[in-house]
Amino acid sequence: MNLINCLSDWHLDDHGRTLLCASADFPMLFVGCGQESVDMYRGNFKIEDYVTERRALSLTSLRERPDGAELEFGDDLTVLVMVSGDCAELRFTRKNPYVNRFWLRVPAEVDECCWGCGEQMSYFNLRGRHFPLWTSEPGVGRDKTTYVTWRSDVENKAGGDYYNTNFPQPTYVSSRHYYLHADTTAYADFDFRHPDFHELQFWEVPSSIRLETADSFLELLRKETAFFGRQPELPGWIYNGLIIGVQGGSERSFGLLEKTLQHDIPVSGVWCQDWCGRRVTSFGKRLQWDWHFHPEMYPDLPAEIEKLHARGIRFLGYINPYLVEGGELYQEGLEAGVFARRSDGSIYLVDFGEFSCGVIDLTDPKAYAWFKDEVIKKHSLDIGIDGWMADFGEYLPTDDIVLHSGKSPMLEHNHWPALWARCNYDAVSESGKLGEAVYFMRAGFTGSQKYCTLLWAGDQSVDFTRHDGLCTVICAALSAGMIGCGLTHSDIGGYTSLFDNTRTKEVFLRWAEMAAFTPVMRTHEGNRPDTNFQYYDDEDCMNRLARLVGIYTSLTPLLKTLVKENAESGIPVQRPLFLHHEDDLRCLTEQFEYLLGPNVLVAPVWQEGQTEWNVYLPEGEWIHLWTAKTYGQGDCVVPAPLGNTPVFYRKDSRWAPMMEEIRRRFA
């Protein structure tokens, strides 16, 4: 990178490309003042801003330095630009105390693509839209034109939109071979709608903006993930089979395990989210948020876990960073002084839908250590639990909550999921179980990468809908991979069932056939298990599922290789096509297909009632897994009966013998 230091026309260039520019015709920075209005209802946020001032800043002085330049923008900002090789960092000093809104304009090209901004469910290529970045519930329905979203909005303020996500991040990757990351936890809105520039808005002056370039996308991801930190490898037991999500107590859960095994379905783990007890609300069957095993529902659970271990099967539970009012651990937390409080000194209780919980103040080292040691270690790891859903993280309120850090909750809110991830990581690491235990999270932010052993795509609807169903987990995996979370999976069959929307056998099996070509296969009974299709109630489905899990376990050598690569170099397991086909313009915008490494392409069927499927193949000779027919570059239509998601592999791939064996055994 190099700087063009001219007061009237300052540039940051890289190989002839202008990455940043400050001139009279193209202001780089804007500042102003605003007053936000934030209303939270059960993790759903209505956020509005009243901007009272916005003005472009002019460069008033410039001082060259050996490693960059120092830019003055009047009495408002000083910007220190530090350049080292292919990386530039802009460090901001706010001089005007009244400034609380900040905009950065980045030069853009009409045909440019951008990816990232955390885990996005609806659109992989961000160009043409804006993306508010605020961790929240994704919404029951994320399409404002649908009945489900409308009814959710009307009845409980729970409808979402295309940009709502549990895992936002102020980072994007450009097809111009750079990534940009903002060091801030404030509310942000990245706007990619203008043909000539991207406009990035922040509700504070960021500490810094980082840009780094590379000659290829693969090298760019290596640099980006080296900066963020990388996920550790998954435990080896993951690849032994399916993690079955069951509940209802020992008799029912372990009975369903036996039924599953009797149908020759390989099982790696039993996930009982209600190991802690359960409660029934209008939303459906939920949990008793008191994170120790429930002696009536799961008597002698530690002994039962030992029996499972003797059979090579792991046990997984559930936790989150809140404790239900009146519970056993809530009382212990009161005595330990671990809860966030209101300004009047009372405990801050959050409404989670017909029950209220205290917020563990993760900014308080004492509270952090208490939850890590006295909850996660003592009640999960020490009784032999091998993993858990580390849920929530996006619910930190913003009104009248006092945190130990002294920071505004508007600044801690986005940071909260990263703190939660680190708390889980430290518990596992300090127990010597890193690489053995696995926890999966839906919420995240900058910093989650290193501390999140496995991402999960959250609460999809139990259907094929464009913004809520099966296809969204493909987009989620691709976007998360572009910001350093390359290990992800989803609830097979989806989770959310409301307003007569129920899971069908077809939804379950299409989801399962896709999941067979992801790092982890895990089922979930959903929020209303009694009215939704369950695999264990259908003989034919169990036979089909046994085949799909068999395919998954047969892929173990490939999956282990890709998971190791993710840990060592930050290249995700599920990859967008352009990572290996940079010059193919079609690959830049494909969001419903993915590569498992450079040599295996997966194009899941995500629409209802399909018997064949259109697939785009990049350059090369590709063999269709199920028919052995060879295809070249371009669109093709292949048979796609239930159970045979379209998969292709390169003819000259090192994995070709493995794929041929899968065809021989399972076609």
**Residues annotated as catalytic (active site), given as ranges:** 391, 394, 459
Which run of H or E residues covers position 545?
Answer: helix 539-554
Do residues 62 and 70 touch, judged by C-beta distance below 8 A?
yes
Distance CA 444, CA 168 (A): 7
Unique residue bearing structure tokens 């996500």: 165
Please, what is the angle between helix 539-554 and helix 505-515, to 10°? 10
DSSP assignment string, 213-244: E-SSHHHHHHHHHHHH--PPPPPGGGGGSEEE
Do residues 600 and 625 touch, judged by C-beta distance below 8 A?
no
C-alpha angle 308-311-313 in degrees, rounded to nearest 5:
55
Distance CA 483, CA 486 (A): 8
Q: Are β-strands 387-390 and 438-441 bridged in parallel, bridged antiparallel, or unpaired?
A: parallel
Which run of H or E residues covers position 281?
Answer: strand 278-281
Do residues 620 and 634 touch, judged by C-beta distance below 8 A?
no
Tokens representing residue 566 in the block: 């993710």
Q: What is the 3-class SS of 477-533, one letter each residue?
A: HHHHHCCCCCCEECCECCCECCCCCCCCHHHHHHHHHHHCCCCCCEECCCCCHHHCC
Distance CA 366, CA 47 (A): 32
C-alpha angle 161-319-295 in degrees, rounded to nearest 5:
135
Note the Cα 255 to chain centre separation in Å.
33
Which run of H or E residues covers position 665?
Answer: helix 656-666
